[in-house]
Copies of this chain bind each other. A is one copy, B any other.
Amino acid sequence: MAENKIPYKIYLEEQEMPTKWYNLRADMKNKPAPLLNPGTHEPMTAEELNGVFCEELVKQELNNDDRFFEIPTEIQDFYRMYRPSPLVRAYCLEKKLGTPAHIYYKFEGNNTSGSHKLNSSIAQAYYAKKQGLKGVTTETGAGQWGTALSMACSYFDLDCKVYMVKVSYEQKPFRREVMRTYGATVTPSPSMETEVGRKILAEHPDTTGSLGCAISEAVEVAVTNEGYRYVLGSVLSQVLLHQSVIGLETKTALEKYGIKPDIIIGCAGGGSNLGGLIAPFMGEKLRGEADYRIIAVEPASCPSFTRGVYAYDFCDTGKVCPLAKMYTLGCDFIPSPNHAGGLRYHGMSSILSQLYDDGMMEAVSRKQTEVFEAAEMFARVEGILPAPESSHAIRVAIDEALKCKETGEAKNIVFGLTGTGYFDMVAYEQYHNGTMTDYIPTDEDLAFYRKQLPQF
């Protein structure tokens, strides 16, 4: 590989790391729609939000104007323990595909939480500590967010109560033990610890839980316990703000080697990874300084962008949280449990929803068997075992590189590799054994849930 000036992995020096988060909203002409009070349908005020969330995070959530937020020194110190993350040139994948395209991926799995979630959890834990709180509550499904939050709380000596969807708690005992290693309390949801949990268990004693129920329990514990607040790992604008560190590092690394990306690809569940990766690139695009193709990849089983509607909806299935305007399948939509990865959220970040509605980005969906085929090919040649979520981006990066092979174009393709798949081996096993199935909701299914969207 001596002919290549570009190394396999581009690392930034510590002094090249971002010291500010970039707030994409500042450059959006059409701002994301505000969160609404579900009772009054009026925009949520800071006072209303302060009861549930940390004060500093509420300020970040509501700020559509300031372009940059200083990253506090304490958070920068923590970032230095696992950042900068490498931007990797996928030489081996290019060779395997025989493509003239140049493929790069920003790898966020090089920390114990195994994903990009740590970038925001450490920020949220920091602000909770600064406010003098005792602890935070949250929910977790697949477990990446709960793991990342546990690590962050351990670092700042904060109590961390995680409500884990009961079926995941039982099927993913290792995820649970990682959280316990970091000192978190992990409770299977629904539990007898909360009013909402007891109510649900009385009505449905055999339920295996849902993300919506876990959110409701976590919020109840936060608002009824002195010194606790609720924190969330995706969807919210504050989370995208923190995740901008991914895109900022990527941009600096590309510029260091004079590389101009043509296509930027990320998987999209609630939007935290995608929103973070594309932020500074989208900023340039919004300001008319550059142009990029930006592609969101979602699972065919949960196609919020590609088959959802842009409307106000509840963020949770329990319908206790504020209303957000977003591309949504309806808050009662639950993807088939035979879908392996994360990316199972019914809605999408308000920021990304507005950008998509404005035609600033594309979205595509892929079936999970296609996604695991890409995951396995990637693992074999690039050596990293990717998370199912991240593998959606790999799939489309490969598809675009194969198009380049046909046209002979040497495009620069950049994608986000958000995490590792160590805790997803059950899904890989299904894929190896040929028992993995694809689930695509019918138009009738989607119409059913769409009808239940709040009307006003």
Cβ–Cβ contact A182 & B9, under 8 A = no
A431 CB → nearest B CB, Å: 8
Cβ–Cβ contact A429 & B173, under 8 A = yes
Among residues of B, the one whose C-beta sits closest to the C-beta of A431 is B181
Cβ–Cβ contact B422 & A155, under 8 A = no
Determine chain A's interface SS by DSSP, over half rule. Answer: helix
Cβ–Cβ contact B425 & A384, under 8 A = no
Decide yes or no whether A376 CB sits under 8 A from chain B.
yes
Cβ–Cβ contact A428 & B177, under 8 A = yes
Decide yes or no whether A381 CB sits under 8 A from chain B.
yes
Cβ–Cβ contact A11 & B8, under 8 A = no
Residues of B near A170 (CB, < 8 A) are: none
Cβ–Cβ contact B92 & A174, under 8 A = no
Residues of B near A80 (CB, < 8 A) are: 1, 7-9
14 contacts between A and B (CB under 8 A): A1-B77, A7-B14, A9-B81, A111-B384, A112-B379, A151-B383, A155-B381, A173-B425, A173-B429, A177-B425, A178-B385, A181-B380, A181-B385, A422-B423
Cβ–Cβ contact B182 & A379, under 8 A = yes
Q: Which of B8, B81, B183 contacts A382 (CB 8 A)?
A: B81
Decide yes or no whether A37 CB sits under 8 A from chain B.
no
Residues of B near A178 (CB, < 8 A) are: 385, 422, 425, 428
Complex Cα spacing A366 to B92, Å: 42
Task: Encode A102-139 as 1/0 by CB contact (under 8 A) with B.
Answer: 00000000111010000000000000000000000000
Decide yes or no whether A69 CB sits under 8 A from chain B.
no
Complex Cα spacing A1 to B78, Å: 10
Cβ–Cβ contact A379 & B181, under 8 A = yes
State the number of copies, please: 2
Complex Cα spacing A380 to B11, Å: 25
Decide yes or no whether A82 CB sits under 8 A from chain B.
yes
Cβ–Cβ contact B383 & A82, under 8 A = yes
Task: Encode A178-200 as 1/0 by CB contact (under 8 A) with B.
Answer: 10111100000000000000000
Complex Cα spacing A385 to B384, Å: 18
Decide yes or no whether A67 CB sits under 8 A from chain B.
no
A323 CB → nearest B CB, Å: 36
Complex Cα spacing A154 to B8, Å: 19
Q: Which residues A338-384 have CB closer than 8 A to chain B?
A: 376, 379-384
Cβ–Cβ contact A177 & B429, under 8 A = yes
* Closest A-B pairs by Cβ, 4 of them: A174-B425, A177-B425, A8-B80, A422-B422
Residues of B near A82 (CB, < 8 A) are: 383
Decide yes or no whether A204 CB sits under 8 A from chain B.
no
Q: A173-B425, A177-B428 are in contact. Are A112 and B384 (CB under 8 A)?
A: yes
Decide yes or no whether A59 CB sits under 8 A from chain B.
no
Cβ–Cβ contact B112 & A385, under 8 A = yes
Decide yes or no whether A420 CB sits under 8 A from chain B.
yes
Q: Which of B81, B376, B428 contacts A8 (CB 8 A)?
A: B81
Given contacts A174-B426, A180-B432, 20 further A-B contacts (CB under 8 A): A8-B14, A8-B80, A9-B81, A110-B110, A111-B383, A112-B379, A112-B384, A112-B385, A112-B420, A114-B422, A155-B380, A173-B429, A174-B425, A177-B425, A177-B426, A178-B428, A181-B379, A182-B380, A422-B422, A422-B423
